[in-house]
Structure 1
Amino acid sequence: VLFVGTKKQAQESIELEARRSGMPYVNHRWMGGMLTNFTVMRRQIERLNALRAIRNNGGFTGSKKQVTQLEEEMQRLERFFGGMADMKKLPGAVYVVDPRKEHIAVTEARKLAIPIVAITDSNCDPDEIDKVIPGNDDAIRAVKLITSKIAESWPPRRSRRRRAPASTGSRQKRKRRARKASPGCPTSMRRNSMKTKPWMTRNDMAITADQVKMLREATGAGMMDAKRALEATGGDFEKAKDWLRQKGMAKAGAKATRAARQGIVETYVHHNQQLGVLVEVNSESDFVARNEQFRELAHEIAVHIAAADPRYLRREDVPADVLERERAIFQAQARDQKKPEAVMEKIVQGKLNDFYKREVLLDQPWTKDDKRSVSEVVKEAIGKIGENITISRFARFKVGEGPSPSST
């Protein structure tokens, strides 16, 4: 388990408990790529270990300037990588104090499908965490207490603490060896359980970590949601994506009535400098407005508007005279084709729906996936992010033309 806590209130507890349990830790600045670019970071760790060995075997040699440079380099590496000096591979889990501050560490762990355990305060997003520990991440005593319990719960340390002292009697030694070799021995059971990933149980051995990782990369869902989707669909990848989409829309329906007054104004300018878009996308909180997923959604909406050229935001924004004119045209076309009166209204309504798909942003097919509408994409984002999201207004500019209608 990699212990992570760089805020002042957590630094001492993280180092103390990680050292006590023999775990790697980061209690100063999190360097980008510590997990996702671990191969390169490992070179820095090896350099630190080499400098330690030189210092322990007589110290640095050379001119005073060279010795000073080596000492400064070692101090810098100790500060950033000292707690990871013995970490030779990616951790099996990450324990985080304040995932909001450590958002880079959380993002990297999610990309690699590494389980995350975190002390989550009221200003944090629990959907990004696999095992949430509700608590005050600014209280030194609370952080110390929870971190100590996390360190104590790690199996290797617990087994070391509970192991009986060695006996000199040969009979007692043989009995202990026999108990350890026994399949029912608690120590053996703990060792065996450590070989299985958290999402790999006897009932779902068919669901592999690679499947969960692929589904998370394709949908942006949390690890536990991706696992549940694969379990519910028997491991079918496409059905699991549909399952997550439906779950996101169900969440969106429950949140749609909540006010969204924060957000961002996203811009997009085509590479030829002839076309530009402004779009305002709102969320309930400023925290979500700074979320990477939210910003990516706003950018993709701006790109969609540039490509699809909608005239209105929602159906209610279409002027009544425009709607009546289109309806009259469709009715005239149906009469010219001598359609029966009984089916004429259905034909007209179908053509009006096609009109909405062409001209209304929320009804348009998503440019990246025409099987979904823009409104469905927004609802899925609500389900993933956990807050209500709305598109408030937009404007599309093209050189030589006026701006498109802006809706509020």
Structure 2
Amino acid sequence: MAVTAAMVKELRERTGAGMVDCKNVLVDVDGNIERAIEVLREKGLAKAAKKAGRVAAEGLVKEAISSDKKQGAIVEVNSETDFVAKNDQFIKFVAQVANIVLENDLTTVEELKALPWPDDTSKTVGDILTEKISVIGENLTLRRFVKMSTNGTIVAYTHGGGKIVAMIDMAGEGPKVEEVGKNIAMQVAAANPQFISKEDVSEETIAKEKEILLTQALNENAIAAKPKPENIIEKMVEGRLGKELFKEICLLEQDYVKEPSLTVEKYVVQELKNKDAIRAFVRLETGEGIEKKSENFAEEVAKQING
């Protein structure tokens, strides 16, 4: 029987095994999918399918930067446990994937998974991921990646051994720019801003935050011993927007973590004489936004033992 692409796809979806392994086994068993599943299980290549339902919320984020510092990439690969995230084999895999992203123009994770693996071009990135799941024994997820390009300088900072990576696009070049960029990347990793400056914040965001602050202020005013007029409350809210909201979400407005007497903007101007030196930033944190399952450790061990 001729092996079709549809048959390979079905076998891969049912087993989680690599595309090449699925095709080869189907050829060996003359297209018998049920027998192919048995063969893959016998070879240990279908293990990944049993683990695919587990929540992978730990893992690593890793960066790669080109030698000329004009391009940078960050990838996040998740594992089930922090223990695996410290595994040398896993760390090497994530670093290799980061380099693959750096060297290719990609828009989706699926495109990344379909690329050939540099050490064995007969296999794809997705195939190698599936193999790692079988060998390591945990569900692993290639979750997301970002890539930056510039005519200035790309600088990155990694926190917590790969828990957080912040990457900055800085205007200009040279050791001073790299030093300031590294410090700004540390700021982004620590303070997690959403925008560079106040000008980047949308009117919609400001209006929503103003509404929240106004409601809070009016509620507080309603139970105050000496309530203030509503127009005074509105002016107070405007002041709180500048002091609280923008300082929280805007990088340039934040207190500089290494010298709190300065804002980030004042630090950048002091060092580089250019308030527009920070052109873009991105921050990835491992497991961010993933709902983690809370399980009894003894029960989890029992599950592992019982298969």
Does the alignment reach a TM-score above 0.5? no
TM superposition score normalised by structure 2: 0.41
**Which of structures 1 and 2 has the larger relative contact order (alpha carbons within 8 angstroms, sep 6+)?**
2
TM superposition score normalised by structure 1: 0.31
Higher strand share: 2
Largest Rg, 1 or 2: 1
Higher helix share: 1
